[in-house]
Structure 1
């Protein structure tokens, strides 16, 4: 096994929180670890997870390169940080031949989604280069020192971001691996002395073999289940058994007491703590006071008040996410008041209730928000958050994947019923082949049948933009929802460059 030193000292080591920036230059790390420096090449480096790995590896003094099928603002940022990125996947990326793009490679990192017969993988194997799954990298980071792994079907990115932000605000110096851009770090990764806080994605089945010090378990549903994709589970029972294995292998679990069934998945935990509104939860949010901008509440630990808190994003789900962050920070000895203040100022990671601007870039115009919500539970939570603002709610929803739509279109339709006006776009295929009979109109048809008078199937983007510009008023809110490219519409509506 090659060396991958943690970005924090081992448990019990001394040291004050670092005053270095979130993603410092790797110069000092490289100087102290020159003997251990390796060349890592990451396939799919433009992805939100792989790019975070690239930044963490680079900060540890390793040489990092990568490739992706398309270039983006994120790959341009990596290039500016000294990480070489190439367009397309080719065998020459990892060879030492003169025509090789990056020179000799020590470790090739690939996700489970990369076909096993891919030429780049085969070239690495033929050359004796280690091929390491991305989850193996995460496993080493989680096991190397104090660590927090956030698991669950929903809310992982927001909860992971909140934990890192709360810890930083509380005087700790967390390292972080996040599936979204955190504004406070201007990045999806943070280098610090620890603990290491990581989003652990159940779409990669290898996650079940990982472990950490503190597992934060938000919920468990049936997403990423069915079909023949490499990143999907065959059954929900297998996926939930994976959650249970992760929990059992960790030192303790902090589980959401408000989500039915989580306790049964945590019976193998060495130590179990809970958070939520439920009676009997170890960490409780009480006296909730929602308003148009967010929710204020009080936090107690086993009946003892810890203090006042606030989350600056609407929706009950964000109260629970913030409570989890405050609970973790409390477990690691952070100052509660400072953690609460940091969370009150937090406005969310990219594409998680992200305020883009106002319609047409005009002050006082309809508020434009973008959200990654793509399954029924997330959609319902985003609609509830929009309703909390007290505004007239417009939703532009882009269904994601034919299989997911086939599995859940009735639930998606029901989740959208509380919005005042709903535009449903065509399904974002995400490389899936169409499924006969599965179409966005299944959602609109069910909504119309259930009495919704403001739902329309609207595949033409120009028509969506024109209608909203003509009809959405100053007291309204427009929320673009989906895991595809619907986010681009929110930028066009607000006059923000994409």
Structure 2
């Protein structure tokens, strides 16, 4: 059993003197973050500030996140302007942080280069954080945010006092970041090709699929083979990998790891979830390590995929010497990060949930989780990106077939140009052709809200699903708009 460490404050309230090692030996620098209102950049802003650096940022739009950062004392300028890095309103900055998706001719990037200011890619900053001490990097095409959150929450419960970088708001931290004295736990996004060259101590490898593949955008890989080579390179640089035994192909992608452990329901897994007991609210199960029983666990989120995510969190905590019972208790209380099976509220007795699921595997898992509740499953689905829809609309349609009713919205472009012939009705038409009698396409969202208000009943489960702004419908229904 690991002795409990004093609980560290979550960002933003953690004091600078609680900071872990400074990246690349930097201390007290002024970091300016482009697109600071994004979920990843805002987490970086909080971590850097908690470690004693001066932090500012800018964003093209004002959001809840930018408002929160301002309330925490991190100044955010509206829009983008070359003066942000050298003059007003922040004065000259030391380091400009930008994602690879930012165009090279961006005015602030140009101004920084001309002024001799260091331009630091966001993945290089994450690499600094991962290399600074014991670290856990969570990779895969599905489940990263939930798994990273669960690892951090389980470690915190077990007394390991982790730091964390998460692509979602973790209710237990009140933030998408946490600063502690223990291991650094980070969600590593494979859509940024630079992830492959990062280095961490332990890799949690959830799955690998053809997501973010086939486009020429900065967030896409040209081929699935190139993406998988990136996974292999990242895993091979780690001290150990914990991969999902239930997902085919991960053994081959992990064969370069010095130490390879597996988790899952499969019999050959080192860490296994056995004797699953699902109910409306979640699943209780037994955890074994090489056939020795570690104890009972529970995830308060439905779906087998969440059992696997929770198992990964308990396995990592066990690997780092954390107390299993305390970790399991923390996991049982965890209700999920924002937009991952988030209970938004109720309307007329119907439960309203919002979920980020947007590719076919995630959608199928979310629908399976919804069916586990025993309620009538009514899904409002917003396809995400024209290229993704072009690549996978038949699979998306098939993934939605088990829902009792489906409302299909227009595609969320996410800055992509429309593709001729690619429309949300491809999904609804295929579902009808396969015999689904309760699927409709709606260009007008108010129609969907009105229809749900007119027909909602106790025992319904209304799930807004997608990576765009479909969550607004859930909030409107729940009276939280």
Please report the TM-score for the alignment, with normalisation by the length of structure 1: 0.94
Quick one: distance in 2 between partners of 1:123 and 1:420? 54
- 1:481 paired residue number: 465
Between the two proteins, the alignment pairs up a number of residues equal to 476
Quick one: distance in 1 between partners of 2:76 and 2:3? 35
- 1:440 paired residue number: 424
Shift of 1:18: 3.3
The answer to whether residue 214 in structure 2 is matched with residue 223 in structure 1 is no
CA-based RMSD of the aligned residues comes to 1.5
Which consecutive aligned stretches of 4+ in structure 1 deviate over 6 angstroms post-superposition? 32-35
Quick one: distance in 2 between partners of 1:475 and 1:43? 45
Q: Deviations over 1:196-216 (max 9, x none)?
A: 000000010000001111000
The answer to whether residue 374 in structure 2 is matched with residue 382 in structure 1 is no
Q: Deviations over 1:202-254 (max 9, x none)?
A: 01000000111100000000111112211110001100110000000000000
Shift of 1:35: 8.9
2:108 to 75, 100, 120: 120
Quick one: distance in 2 between partners of 1:221 and 1:304? 32
Shift of 1:73: 1.2
Q: Deviations over 1:431-463 (max 9, x none)?
A: 111100000000001000000001001121111
> Judging changes above 3 Å, is the alpha-carbon distance between structure 1 residues 15 and 325 closer, same or farther for their aligned structure 2 residues?
closer
- 1:146 paired residue number: 134
Q: Deviations over 1:295-350 (max 9, x none)?
A: 00000000100000000000000000000000000000111011111111100000
- 1:354 paired residue number: 342
8 Å contact kept, 2:150–2:331: yes
> Judging changes above 3 Å, is the alpha-carbon distance between structure 1 residues 35 and 314 closer, same or farther for their aligned structure 2 residues?
closer
1:57 alignment partner, SS class: helix
1:423 to 407, 410, 416: 407
1:153 alignment partner, SS class: coil
The answer to whether residue 274 in structure 2 is matched with residue 286 in structure 1 is yes
The answer to whether residue 304 in structure 2 is matched with residue 313 in structure 1 is no
Task: Structure 2: give runs of 5+ residues left out of the alignment.
Answer: none
1:235 to 176, 199, 223: 223
Paired residues for 1:147-296 under 5 Å: 147-296=135-284
Please report the TM-score for the alignment, with normalisation by the length of structure 2: 0.97
2:43 to 48, 52, 55: 52
- 2:454 paired residue number: 470
> Judging changes above 3 Å, is the alpha-carbon distance between structure 1 residues 413 and 328 closer, same or farther for their aligned structure 2 residues?
same
8 Å contact kept, 2:8–2:181: no
- 1:8 paired residue number: none
Q: Judge which range, 222-231 or 206-215, deviates more.
A: 222-231
8 Å contact kept, 2:18–2:181: no
Quick one: distance in 2 between partners of 1:176 and 1:281? 26
8 Å contact kept, 1:296–1:310: yes
Shift of 1:496: 1.4
